[in-house]
Amino acid sequence: MVQGLPVRSFKDDLYRQFSKIGKCLSSDKRLELMHLLSQGPKSVEKMAEATGMSVANVSRHLQILHNANLVRFKKKGTYVIYTLASPEVKGFLNSLWRISEMQLADVTRIKNDLMCQFGDLDTLSIGEVKRKMEDGSIILLDVRPSEEFEAGHIPGAMSVPMEDLHRYLQTHSKEIQIAAYCRGPYCVFAAEAVKLMQKEGFTAFHMEEGVYEWQEYHAQIH
């Protein structure tokens, strides 16, 4: 007994609160929206464009996430800008992706099937990219939208969104090696960028990891 109430009652109340997060994350669309927000603040309209959902549908999902205190918003002119509620939410999401890939074989299969569409890609690990950047033998491109780069990026990387990549390549010698990264292991922007660079005669490498994984790696080695 605790203050006259059974401990069981406290536990029931506690796990009922925990279940609110679980119920909120049971939608694949809400998980996708949170993944987008893990890259930086976004308007409802931007998320609708990125996900192929209607503005009304995105707004409905965001309201559910807001009710669970997983996202926050502020007004900016006529737009409503959403962010994740805290860095802990971003960490939780990345843990969810990793657990899902470890425990669900279909996640790896789907990811591999997706990447197979791009044929053979030369891939570098975070450590290899870091070493090449330090010795000046490679340029690292962040091919996400510019607002995501501004929200956070790998130190030393250059912002070259996909729509600007062809024009950017015209200013560089094909002697330089280039690596590209995007939103992490489940994003195809970097793979698309590497295929384009290879097609134009550049020695290009794909880095599967994104900003969050780079930060984790950096923390581990220091």
Q: List, as one string, the DSSP characters of 164-193.
A: GHHHHHTTS-TTSEEEEE-SSTT--HHHHH
pTM higher than 0.75:
yes
Q: What DSSP character marks residue 156?
A: T
> 7-85 maps to which CATH number?
1.10.10.10
* pLDDT on residue 100: 96
Nearest Cα neighbor of 178 from 187, 170, 186, 169 is: 169
Angle CA 64–66–69, to nearest 5: 120
What are the tens digits of pLDDT across the range 201-210?
999 999 999 9
- Is 182 labeled as catalytic in the residue annotation? yes
The residues that bridge with 204 in the sheet, in sequence order, are 178
Answer whether residue 2 shows pLDDT above 70.
Answer: no
* Close Cβ partners of 101 (under 8 Å, ≥ 6 residues apart): 107, 108, 111, 185
Return the SS3 of 204. Answer: strand
What are the tens digits of pLDDT across the range 56-72?
999 999 999 999 999 99
3-state helix, strand, coil in the chain (%, to 5): 55, 15, 30
Q: Is the CB of residue 149 less than 8 Å from the CB of residue 143?
A: no
Catalytic residue among 24, 116, 182, 187: 182
Q: Which fold has domain 112-221?
A: Oxidized Rhodanese; domain 1 (3.40.250)
What are the tens digits of pLDDT across the range 185-194?
999 999 999 9
Q: Is the CB of residue 174 less than 8 Å from the CB of residue 213?
A: no
**Domain ranges within the chain, ordered by starting residue:** 7-85, 112-221
